[in-house]
Amino acid sequence: MSEQSSDGSSDFCPRFHHAIELIGKRWTGAVLRALLRGPRRFNELLGAIPDLSDRLLAERLRELEGEEIVSRHVDPGPPVRVAYELTASGKELETALTCVGQWAERWVAPPKRKRTA
């Protein structure tokens, strides 16, 4: 039922465009994937994603909160504990992220790493 135009302009979908660039933004995919396993504290996320800085993790989480994909929960403690979790819309990204993961397993070369044994 989608409209088609002979010049191909109907190829473009602003909502798809927004979504793909949102989840594919540097580090965002990795953060979402980590959160698919359940709520995580800031330092747990930081520890789970190699080479991600505090500053960038904070920025990405803020963006995801702004998009209502992640919500932030504060337990006043003490000690204060802040956890992040996927909202309903965030959880529904699982299928898409799983498909990307399956494609990657098939087509992306595994990284070279040192063998330790």
| Interacting residues with a copy of itself (CB under 8 A) | 7-9, 11-26, 28-30, 33-34, 37, 40, 44, 47-50, 89, 92-93, 95-97, 99-111
Q: Name the residue nearer to a copy of itself (CB basis): 74 or 88.
A: 88
2 φ, ψ (degrees, to nearest 5): -80, 150
**Peptide bond between residue 14 and the one before it cis (omega within 30 degrees of 0):** no
SS3 58: helix
Radius of gyration of the chain (CA): 18
Q: Name the residue nearer to a copy of itself (CB basis): 9 or 78.
A: 9
- In the complex, minimum distance from the CB of residue 71 to a copy of itself, in angstroms, rounded to a whole number: 14
> 3: which 2 tokens?
């409209």
- In the complex, minimum distance from the CB of residue 27 to a copy of itself, in angstroms, rounded to a whole number: 8
Q: Name the residue nearer to a copy of itself (CB basis): 57 or 78.
A: 57
Alpha-carbon dihedral angle through residues 32, 38, 39, 42, given to the nearest 10 degrees: -50
Q: Name the residue nearer to a copy of itself (CB basis): 38 or 79.
A: 38
